[in-house]
Chain A
Amino acid sequence: MKLLPLAARNIRRNVRRTILSATATAIATMTLMFLFAYIDGMKMDFSYVLSTFVSGHGRIRHAEYDDLEHLNPLHLRIVNYTQVIDYLKADPRVAGLSPRINLPAMFYQAGADEQTGVRAIGVDFVRETTGMNLENILVSGAIPAPGDRGVLVGTTLARELGLEVGDTVTLLSQTMRRDTNAVSFTLRGIIEFPVAGLNKGTMLLPLEGAQRLSRMGDSVSEILYRLQDPSDARQVAGEIEGLLAQQGFSTGDNPLSVKSWDQVDMIFSFMGMADLIYGIFGSVFFILASTVLINTTMMVINERTREIGTIGALGMLGSEIVRLFFLEALIIAVLGAFGGILLGAAIVVPLQIIGMDLSSATEGMEINISGLIYPQFNLVKTILVWFYAVVLTGLVALIPSRRASKILPVEALRYQG
């Protein structure tokens, strides 16, 4: 007996039921797809923030700096940073480089009993215009020109200190020799970091300005780099460290160490935790979506028990009945899931371009999560979701139909449903 056309006819015959099953499948599939896209979007944002503002995909520092980091050991610096940068620029794996100086400093306020501590970061504004996308996050003012002793301040900090563009910013800091120095800068621009925590206490200084303040000459504390492909960051970090030694940039007197981002920032381990949480949530969805599929299929089978009895009485073999129902369920699942992923794509793809604005929810958070999430469309994951829906539905269809097929026709016919 040709089951496929029979299955197809059955499907067409009871439109309502078909539509219901298909819709359920479609929606379940769609939400699953959206969930993954959303989670991927959050992870991507997290990694963007981390790699741009905190640790890059990897970080080059004097080998002894990390152990003494809490003492701010400016003397453990990279003196040949320009050469290192020139060398790494040519490496095809490297997408961007950021020389930096980290300076805990005090903002001098005349008449105040206490000075306000700020996190001053010396950066190369030309590089960071692209690296940090400075122009996009500039709220007022402008990026300091090369040679200008100008700074950029986060919005929250500017507000707290009552600063406006053009104001004088005098910073007191410890120098490399551990005495003190003060330098006056001019506030050139106010930026809205995508991370609330950075807005609260960060000032961006020009590299020369930070060097002048800390009297560390033409050197930097660290070089961050971003990779085209961050997936094997750790291995690349090891390779770069080797290359630096090979090329003579890292010597016995001036050893440099390279750490990938997962070795650097504690927040990265938080990402691992977030991953797990998302995994659990995803599983919850899976379970729920699966129950929907299961329920639908079981209902269908249940309602058609009499029909099963009828065709059984008409001579159809138990195994054929099973196959028939299985086919029906499969076809509906295939079509329904397909509709689902189309719907899902229709939602995810535009959002990937526009982004979802959650900024009001993340205000006041110290942690590095920005307010704008771009759900990520992933073809492989989409196909997997589709596959899963189909397979699950098929499997579930097997169970009751097997059971139903074993009932004697006369019992089935008597079944009231």
Chain B
Amino acid sequence: MKRFGFILSYSWKNLSRHRKRTLITASAIASGLALYLFMDAWLLGAEMDSQRNLRRYETSSARVYHQDNWEVWERLRLSNLIENPAQVVDTIENLGYTAAPRVSFQADVIVYENPYPTDGSMTIRAYGIDVAADNRVFSLANFVDEGRYPEAGEYGAVIGAGLARTLGAEVGFPLTLVTRTREGYYQTLDLVITGIVNTPNPIVNRANIYIPLEVIDQELQMAGAVTEIIIGISETENTQKAAQRIQAAISQNRPELQTYPWEEIAADFLALAATKSGGSSIMLFLVFIIAAVGISNTMLMAIFERVRELGTLRALGMRNRDIRLMFLLEAGGIGFIGSVVGLVFGSILIAFVTYIGVDFTALLGDMDIGYRINGIMYGTWHPQAMVTAFFVGIFMAALVAYLPTRRALKMGITDCLRDE
């Protein structure tokens, strides 16, 4: 043990003695690590972005439907409804998730010149939402750009920014919807725009209107029933498992209902992901190669330059085993320093791209292609990658140091001493 302590301290001293070499080598590791993590965070962020957009603003983490409604839910018909939604919502919330009832339906929105720029009409998706509970699942209220969220029972509506732009609508303008009730009667809704919502999801912004559930329940003759229940599950939890848990709890009382995790709901949507793994893996692989080359190169050079030193140590009687250990410890030490610095810089870069992001909005302008991407691209934290990279940095340094060390130990001592 004492010997180990000696070797350890000797290695450590070597590191500080050959500061330049240590720094250069460590910086090779650090830069490789930092940039790899940055790229990875960004690519992952891009991939997650579209999915996140989908999940946070459209599908929610999971949903409950009447099982007969599953195939046709996106057609927005008022059939196969969920009666007594409060019971289901309670069950879900007792499990620790957030839930809210919704009525989704199709309607024509009609506007008239004065105050609008011209007469117009459009088919849109409308949602009756529980003004309080909905925000526990989605966070629309956070994105109300202008005006405000409607209050429970108010004959008001929040519309997407894209829709507002298309119609030329502003807060305070009247809005007329033409639709059908649950019974099948034609119905018109006269509402006032209380707010305009601008989410990172262009689909939501383009054709959605949100109205307090009480109004919808009354005007559409819903008799308390809803079309779906949206559920919020934390992003760290496995949604499939959570959905199963919820389903188990609900099916006791309500066997006709079915819980679907967002992946299944999203499968029906058109766009799912940004540049998927195919393209980005290649990029990351290339970065890895360059980083690996950089690290190996400097490590190898460092070791090769010290063959003479190694020979001296052998001549002085140090055991091969100890020498090897010492060099490995040094290499590991360099790896450690490099990895730490790399993590720090990497984290700074990741933080930049995750919280500030890169702003493409100037380029995109009025893009509206059904692709769920935001004008600002964000990265995302990938702790798994960070931990892996950290250890890879140390391990690679040690590994790369091992081979030439072994080779040098096999050489004759005098050859070592003579080495240049």
User: Direct contact between A and B in the complex (CB less than 8 angstroms)?
Assistant: yes
Closest to B306 in A: A417
Chain A residues closer than 8 Å to B218, beta-carbon distance: none
List 29 contacting pairs A-B, 8 Å CB cutoff, sorted by A: A23-B297, A24-B293, A31-B289, A31-B290, A42-B279, A114-B75, A269-B365, A270-B364, A288-B291, A291-B28, A291-B32, A292-B293, A292-B297, A295-B25, A295-B31, A295-B294, A295-B297, A298-B20, A299-B24, A299-B298, A303-B305, A360-B278, A361-B276, A361-B277, A364-B273, A365-B272, A366-B270, A373-B279, A416-B18
Question: Is the pair B21, A302 in contact by a Cβ cutoff of 8 Å?
Answer: yes
Question: Closest residue of chain B to A289, judged by CB?
Answer: B290
* Cβ contacts A289-301/B at 8 Å (1 or 0 each): 1011001101110
**Range class of the A interface residue count:** 35 or more
In the bound complex, residues from chain A placing their C-beta under 8 Å from that of B20 are 298, 302
CB of A303 within 8 A of CB of B31, answer: no
- Are A284's CB and B282's CB within 8 A? no
Q: How far is the CB of B303 from chain A (nearest CB, A)?
A: 10
Whether, in the assembled complex, A267 has its beta carbon less than 8 Å from a beta carbon of chain B, the answer is yes
Taking CB atoms, residues of chain B closer than 8 Å to A371 are 278
Among A272, A285, A299, contact of B302 (Cβ-Cβ < 8 Å)? A299
- B358 proximal to A (CB < 8 A): yes
Residue of A nearest to B404 (CB): A16
Are A197 and B270 closer than 8 Å at their CB atoms? yes
Q: Which of A365-396 touch B at CB < 8 Å?
A: 365-367, 371, 373
Query: B3 on the interface (CB 8 Å rule)?
Result: no
A207 to chain B, nearest CB (A): 27
Known: A296-B297, A365-B272. 7 other contacts (CB 8 A): A17-B301, A28-B294, A35-B283, A280-B358, A295-B31, A360-B278, A367-B271
CB nearest neighbor in A for B21: A302
Q: Is the CB of A362 within 8 A of B302?
A: no
Q: Does A261 contact B (CB under 8 A)?
A: no
In the complex, per-residue mask of A53-95: 1 if CB is within 8 Å of any chain B CB, else 0 = 0000000000000000000000000000000000000000000
Cα separation A296 to B298 with both chains bound (whole Å): 6
- In the complex the two chains form, is B370's CB within 8 Å of A295's CB? no
| Interface status of B300 (Cβ within 8 A of chain A) | yes
Question: Which of chain A's residues have a CB closer than 8 A to the CB of B276?
Answer: 361-362, 365
B294 near A269 with CB under 8 A, answer no
- Interface check A200, CB cutoff 8 A: yes
Say yes or no: is B27 at the interface (Cβ < 8 Å to chain A).
yes
A410 at interface by CB-CB < 8 Å:
no
- Which residues on the A side are within 8 Å of B282 (C-beta)? 38, 356
A270 in contact with B291 (CB, 8 Å): no
- Are B367's CB and A266's CB within 8 A? yes
Q: In the complex, how many angstroms separate the beta carbon of A311 from the nearest chain B beta carbon?
A: 14
| A20, CB-defined interface residue at 8 Å | yes
Complex formed: what's the CA distance from A182 to B212 in Å? 41
Known: A28-B290, A362-B278. A14 touches B420 (CB 8 A): yes
Contact bitstring A240-279, B, C-beta under 8 A = 1, else 0:
0000000000000000000000000011011011001100
Q: Max chain B CB contacts within 10 Å: which of A27, A267, A284, A289?
A: A284
With both chains docked as a complex, state the minimum distance between the C-beta of B170 and any C-beta of chain A, in angstroms. 22
Chain A CB within 8 A of B38 CB: yes
C-beta contact mask, A402-414 vs B, less than 8 Å → 1, else 0? 0000000000000
Q: In the complex, which residues of chain A have a beta carbon less than 8 angstroms from the beta carbon of B277?
A: 361
> Is B290 within 8 A of A266, CB to CB?
no
- Given known A-B contacts A364-B272, A365-B271, A17 and B367 have beta carbons under 8 A apart: no
With A23-B293, A358-B278 given, is the CB distance from A285 to B286 under 8 Å?
Answer: yes
| B residues neighboring A (CB under 8 Å) | 17-18, 20-21, 24-25, 27-28, 31-32, 35, 38-39, 72, 75, 270-273, 276-279, 282-283, 286-287, 289-291, 293-294, 297-298, 300-302, 304-305, 358, 360, 363-365, 367-371, 377, 420
A143 and B406 CA atoms in complex are apart in Å by 67
Q: Which residues of B contact A276 (CB under 8 A)?
A: 360, 363
The B-contacting residues of A in range 284-324, CB under 8 angstroms, are 284-285, 287-289, 291-292, 295-296, 298-300, 302-303
Q: Main SS of the interface on chain A?
A: helix
| Chain A residues closer than 8 Å to B273, beta-carbon distance | 364-365
Determine how close the nearest CB of chain A comes to the CB of B231; give it in whole angstroms: 24
* Contact assessment for A284 and B39 in the assembled complex, using a CB-CB cutoff below 8 Å: yes
Contacts of B371 in A (CB 8 A): 270, 366-367
A34 at the interface (CB under 8 A from B): yes
Alpha-carbon gap, A276 to B377, bound state (A): 11
Contacting A292 at CB < 8 Å: which of B28, B39, B368?
Answer: B28
Point out the residues of chain B lying under 8 angstroms from A34, CB to CB: 286
Please tell me if the beta carbons of A292 and B364 are within 8 angstroms of each other in the complex: no
Task: For A292, list chain B residues within 8 Å (CB).
Answer: 28, 290, 293-294, 297
By CB atoms of chain A within 10 A, which of B32, B72, B300 has the most? B300
Identify the interface centre among B279, B297, B364, B369: most chain A CB within 10 Å of its CB: B297
- Interface hits, A16-45 → B, CB 8 Å: 16-17, 20-21, 23-24, 27-28, 31, 34-35, 38, 42
A300 touching B364 by the CB < 8 A rule?
Answer: no
Question: CB within 8 Å of B: which of A336-370?
Answer: 356, 358, 360-362, 364-367
- CB-CB under 8 A from B298, the residues of chain A are 295-296, 299
**Which of the listed residues B21, B298, B368, B377 has the most CB atoms from chain A within 10 Å of its own CB?**
B298
For A27, what are the chain B residues with a Cβ–Cβ distance below 8 Å?
A: 289-290, 293
Residue of B nearest to A298 (CB): B24
Say yes or no: B35 contacts A266, CB within 8 Å. Answer: no
**A285 contact set on B, CB distance < 8 A:** 286-287, 290
Bound-complex Cα distance A269 to B368 (A) = 11
What separation, in Å, do the CA atoms of A114 and B71 have in the docked complex? 12
- Expressed in whole angstroms, the minimum distance between the Cβ of B114 and any Cβ of chain A is 22
A38-B282, A358-B279 known; A417+B293 contact, CB < 8 A: no
The residues of A that contact B27 with a CB separation of less than 8 Å are 291, 295
Give the residue among B25, B277, B305, B367 with the most A Cβ atoms within 10 A: B305
Closest to B278 in A: A361
Report the Cα distance A35→B25, complex, angstroms: 25
Residue of A nearest to B28 (CB): A295
Question: Could you tell me if B270 and A28 are in contact, using CB atoms closer than 8 angstroms?
Answer: no
CB distance from B207 to the nearest CB of A (A): 12
A28→B24 CA distance, assembly (Å): 17
Known: A31-B289, A285-B290, A361-B279. A20 touches B35 (CB 8 A): no
Contacts of B270 in A (CB 8 A): 197, 200, 366
* Chain A residue with the shortest CB-CB distance to B365: A269
| CB <8 Å contact, B18 and A417 | yes
Near B by CB (< 8 A), chain A positions 191-231 give 197, 200
A220 to chain B, nearest CB (A): 24
Beyond A28-B290, A288-B287, A303-B305, whether A273 also contacts B272 by CB under 8 A is no
Chain A contacts of B363 at CB under 8 A? 269, 272-273, 276
